[in-house]
Amino acid sequence: MNYVRQDPTQPIEMNEIDDIIAGTERKSLDRLRSKIDTRIGLIDSEMKPVATSLTAIYLDGQKVSNPVGFTGKNIKLNILNVFAPITKFNITRNLVSNLDKNIVSIVPAPVSLPKLLEHTSYFEDSNLFIDF
């Protein structure tokens, strides 16, 4: 996602970053809707964003860990958006709530698995396992 700021002299605030991310989620979801039938075989299924992760942030071509407080014209965000059919999301949420547990977040296994393995000998394994 490339974003050109209207006033590059103003310091970047967190709400500006949040707005950029929310706009990216909406655009990603719009693109997904046009491909949903052929990709996952669900017709007119509503999708819900379940995970959004910033993987890299660049401010005027320079990589930064946190742009808040800096000034600049061009913000480039590398964002991973993960969506799930809302029916599957609701089933999971209902199952958890019936167990009298509080949901902090629902993270799909393909997103959580790399985090679980990052401090193990399997982390740099070149194999990829996907469960459909």
CATH number at residue 51: 3.30.1490
pLDDT of res. 51? 78
| Structure tokens given for 119 | 């401090």
Instruction: Please report whether residue 75 resides in a domain.
Output: yes
24-76 pLDDT per residue, tens: 888 888 887 777 766 666 655 677 888 788 889 999 999 999 999 999 999 99
Total domains in the chain come to 1
Residue 50 within a domain: yes
Residue 36's identity, in one-letter code, is I
Structural domain containing residue 28: 2-86
| Cα–Cα nearest to 78, from 122, 7, 31, 28 | 28
Angstrom distance (rounded) from CA 88 to CA 126? 30
61 lies in some domain = yes
Asked if the structure places residue 81 within a domain, the reply is: yes
Beta strands in the chain (DSSP E): 2-4, 47-59, 62-64, 74-85
pTM over 0.95: no
| CA separation for the pair 18, 68 (Å, rounded) | 11
28 belongs to a structural domain: yes
Check whether 128 has a pLDDT greater than 60: no
